[in-house]
Structure 1
Amino acid sequence: GDVYKRQDLHSLYDLHKKSGKVVTLTAVHPIYKYGLVEMEGDLIMKFDEKPNMKDLINGGFMVFNKKVFDYLSPDKNCILEQEPMRNLAKDNELVGYKHQGFWKSMDTQKDVDELNEIFKKGCKNNGAPWEIWKKNRNNTNILKGIGSDKKLISSNKDGIWNKKDDELNNYDNKGS
């Protein structure tokens, strides 16, 4: 499925290069969709509303080196997340980057609606957890890089656009 998160891609890539392994994937603690209870008999001893799971899951972002092709089959039924990943793990060629920040699946319409609500709130009050908001002189929401200082990403009635870092500095100096 699809995911939306705030990820430090430089750290993910650095871990991949440092490890020397074939694949590095982002591992995340997802949130249960329901509240958990612990019971003794009929008595609830503990209640935890939608806690983070203790187990890690594949967070959806990966870095590969070219040796990954040694693990793939030309068979049209070869699915990366099945036998190839199991074999990479068995061969100790799979590294996990433990992501601690914002992560949310976008597998259902409900997920998409929730992310759109988070985005709308972020546009109004700097609340979107994956973005670093600023306002430019036209009162347009701009974002300095989504975890990076190298790009400007803006959302407005005309859509989304990118600018290079030197142009961003002009916005920083002339902004409201």
Structure 2
Amino acid sequence: MKVVLLAGGFGTRISEESQYKPKPMIEIGGMPILWHIMKSYSHYGFNDFVICAGYKQHVIKEWFADYFLHTSDITFDFTQGNKMIVHDQHCEPWKVTVVDTGLNTMTGGRIKRIQKYIGSEPFMMTYGDGVCDVDINKLVTFHKSHGRIATLTAVMYDQSKGILNIESDHSVHSFREKSALDSAPINAGFMVLQPEIFDYLKGDSCVFEREPLEKLASEGQLMSYIHKGFWQCMDTKREKDNLEQMWNSGNAPWKVWDK
């Protein structure tokens, strides 16, 4: 099952660093937060990634090209026609497809643009700026159990994210933007989607969190996987610093992998 990562938006400018690179490429513990998210999926055996890039998309492509070289033992042989020989590579067994989904494309439009890389198979999708210790295998098992088009991971969090009205059977009865007075589960990403989701996405201006999710909810096709563990997005410098502190202290709840 492929994993789609949304990493193409302008995002919030959380520091001077984010003026020069996409927010998913801002580092926590010396590695981009995008890498941390991918390590989480890889821990559960999901290694095929499609990255929806846009803003400064060349930075993402260059990073992965360098990552392969930097984690490999290489001989540069200039005596034999300028050959490069890779002896051993120590990077993860990842297949990474980086797609330029446009500079101003909205989230739904970005997902629609990578349809040809997904085909007719179910896939996972999450945002490129939030880490979580959700058990991906249990999430996928839950999705397969109910037969609906979409499953999202829901967490309790005091922040302006999309509000979910969840029924006792975990179906999402409605989806709307959060107000300052709300205290309810929110959409944390880490979704599992059937290929039928592409029928709900119309053009580059489509915002995935609005009409598509609202329509899925109204049709009874949106389910929630309740996660009571750790989740944290990185919308502000304070959140970035908190994640950095957790990582440096050796107490990073999202680090489910061994190495």
Matches within 5 A, 1:4-153: 4-31=131-158, 54-73=183-202, 75-122=203-250, 127-131=251-255, 143-144=257-258, 153=259
Cα deviations by residue, 1:26-79 (Å, 9 ceiling, x for unpaired) = 00001469xxxxxxxxxxxxxxxxxxx840000121110111011111x22111
Structure 2 distance, partners of 1:80, 1:32, is: 19
RMSD: 1.9
In structure 2, the partner of 1:47 is: none
Deviation string, structure 1 residues 86-133 (Cα, Å, up to 9, x no partner)? 0000000000000111111111121111100010111xxxx222235x
Kept after mapping to 1: 8 A contact 2:132/2:232: yes
**Change beyond 3 A, Cα 1:103–1:21:** same
Cα distance in 2 for partners of 1:14, 1:89 equals 20
Distance 2:249 2:197 in 1: 40
Amino acid at match of 2:155: V
Q: For this pair of structures, how many residues does the alignment match?
A: 111
TM-score when scaled to structure 2?
0.40
Task: Write the letter of the residue equivalent to 1:84.
Answer: P
Write the distance in 2 (CA, Å) between the matches of 1:67 and 1:32.
30
2:191 is paired with a residue whose SS is: strand
In structure 2, runs of 5+ residues without a counterpart are: 1-126, 161-181
Partners in 1 of 2:159 and 2:209 — Cα distance?
Answer: 22
Q: Which residue of 1 aligns with 2:17?
A: none
Structure 1 Cα separation of the partners of residues 150 and 227 of structure 2: 16
**Percent identity over the alignment?**
38
> How far off its partner does 1:7 sit?
1.2
**Is the contact made by 2:243 and 2:252 (CA closer than 8 Å) also made in structure 1?**
no
